[in-house]
Structure 1
């Protein structure tokens, strides 16, 4: 994962209240990650959200991986 992939992730207070989005789209990173978590393939995600590219979906996954390394969230029993 290079920083070039992460360059595809942007934030702008004027776009979706500053949520991290995939550059050139209004698709939040969280939507791409939710789709991946639900078992959708990157190709299926791009088909569902035509403004996305495969590189954008990969960038979202890279961003999610970066956040997972940076912040520990306790996942105790429900």
Structure 2
């Protein structure tokens, strides 16, 4: 299994979502967070919609 880490919190794994960027340690695509943000959801509120995530600083 090849893993390429793009940042501290984002990674890609070919066997998870066909290599789409995900939040490290989850199967949550970064796309899901961006879509929430584009809908006008504030970053502090995103964990309310994706309850398995926490707001990290």
Is this a same-fold pair by TM over 0.5?
yes
> Tell me, which stretches of 5 or more residues in structure 2 are unaligned?
1-6
Higher helix share: 1
- Structure 1 runs, 4 residues or longer, greater than 3 Å off: none
How well do the aligned residues superpose, as a CA RMSD in angstroms? 1.5
Normalised to the residue count of structure 2, the TM-score between the two structures is 0.76
Higher radius of gyration, 1 or 2: 1
Q: How does 1:60-75 map to 2 (within 5 A)?
A: none
2:35 alignment partner in structure 1: 34
Between the aligned partners of 2:44 and 2:9, the Cα distance in structure 1 is 18
Matched residue of 1:10: which SS?
Answer: strand
Between the aligned partners of 2:23 and 2:14, the Cα distance in structure 1 is 14
Normalised to the residue count of structure 1, the TM-score between the two structures is 0.58
2:16 alignment partner in structure 1: 15
> Tell me, which stretches of 5 or more residues in structure 1 are unaligned?
1-5, 59-78
Higher strand share: 2
